[in-house]
Amino acid sequence: MERVAVIGAAMTQFGQREEWILELLAEAGLACLEDAGVEPGEVEHLYVSNMASGEFEGQTGIMNGLAHDLGAIPAYTQRVDQTSSSGGAGIYAAWQSVASGASEMTLLVGGEKMTHKTTAEATDVIASITHPNEYNVGVTLPSFAGLTARHYLERFDAPRESLGKVAVKNHKNGVDNPKAQFQKEVDLETVLESPIVADPLRLYDFCPITDGSAALLFCPESVAAEYTDEYAVVTGVDGATDTHVVHERDDPTVMGGVVESGKGAYEMSGRGPEDIDVAELHDMFTILEFLQMEGLGFTEQGEAWKLIEEGYTEKDGELPVNTSGGLKSKGHPLGASGVAQAVEIYEQLVGEAGPRQIDDAEVGLCCNVGGFGNCVITTIMEAGQ
């Protein structure tokens, strides 16, 4: 079967935006088409990764609206929802659309408009991802993160500071990303003394609420050559679920969806953790970066905290993680995040990451986590030229 290439990528400024969802989606979608030199009329399939435009803005059918606004009619379109991993699910859907032969030019646009809602309103919608038996008694996603972080620190004798250092690293990386919501460094003291949200996690252990959009353009590798010499190839992609009721899991520090989707992506690509040059992990909460490092085999269970202490995941370390700034500093517009992770990896692979560029990056990985690991999508991309 022919490989699936990515020939264009773009993202909007992330942060607090005045535009509504359809404008944000169109901005990223048009920029992506322009990046690739492809006309809107050439798009055959259009996938829109978005969790909750209906709940957040009272507007549904945004995929049809986007096809219209881009000038892509009669392209087929569909909205892809996999909660906070809708972007990763969109990559999988786009890959399938090309790999199955259904489309030779598939545009994926992920986006969410959230900042017009209060934190309480947004949290209500986000909490509804999980099981009512848990959120109805107040266990929202930040609570799961707090409980898991406490367990991790105590069980593996990890210092609280190690979690703080994830935030410090990702904020430092975000300074070099002009599209990031927060382009400023924070020091460890600021993180450790910020207000408690879900003990032991504090404000700076959490990603912000964000508006934004990101886009990728997919086609068969043979078609890619008609447009560009520099492209990436999706060599591995897989998704997997874990229990919807989080407290039913055997080990709270193991995210089954991370492990299983990672295995699938490695097997498909013929790669292993040792081959990955750069990774974007879903640091919605600092603790999640550790769980993904371990679940994806970059280190053993209970050991990820040592890597951050050693600088292993810094931009100049062995495995740079979240060179984009991650969800932590770049922001987390739900449906956009998984797409934006792959935009960063694409830019690293084609050498367009500017001040964030990792030398000789040839194999990259993104991991996009839905809910509290309820469904996870892992994607491996490689330089295609």
Query: For helices 160-174 and 286-295, what crossing angle results, to 10°?
Result: 100
Q: Among 284, 306, 263, 278, which Cα is nearest to 373's?
A: 284
φ, ψ of residue 273 to 5 degrees: the values are -55, -30
Q: How far is the CB of 356 from a copy of itself (least distance, A)?
A: 30
Q: Which position among 42, 73, 121, 273 is part of the footprint of a copy of itself (CB under 8 A)? A: 73
Angle between helices 86-99 and 334-349 (to 10 degrees): 60
Instruction: Check residue 110 for interaction with a copy of itself (CB under 8 A).
Output: no
Q: Measured from the CB of residue 297, what is the shortest distance to a copy of itself in angstroms? A: 16
For a copy of itself, which residue of 96, 183, 228, 301 counts as binding (CB under 8 A)?
96
In angstroms, give the least distance from the CB of 244 to a copy of itself: 4
x/- map, 183-222, a copy of itself, by CB under 8 A: ----------------------------------------
Q: What is the DSSP letter of 116?
A: T
Residue 323's nearest CA partner among 332, 314, 331 is 314
C-beta neighbour count of 11 within 10 angstroms = 28
Choose one: 110-118, 129-137, 164-172, 269-277; the region binding a copy of itself (CB under 8 A).
129-137
The answer to the question of residue 16 lying near a copy of itself (CB under 8 A) is no
Helix (H) or strand (E) holding 111: strand 106-112
- Please state the closest distance from residue 68 (CB atom) to a copy of itself, in A: 4
Length of the chain: 385
Interface with a copy of itself, residue 260, by CB under 8 A: yes
First CA to last CA across the chain, in angstroms? 18
**Options 128, 183, 190, 301; binder of a copy of itself; rule CB under 8 A:** 128
What is the binding site for a copy of itself (CB under 8 A)? 1, 51-52, 54-55, 58-61, 63-65, 67-69, 72-83, 89, 92-93, 95-97, 99-102, 125, 128-132, 238-245, 256-257, 260-261, 370-371, 374-375, 377
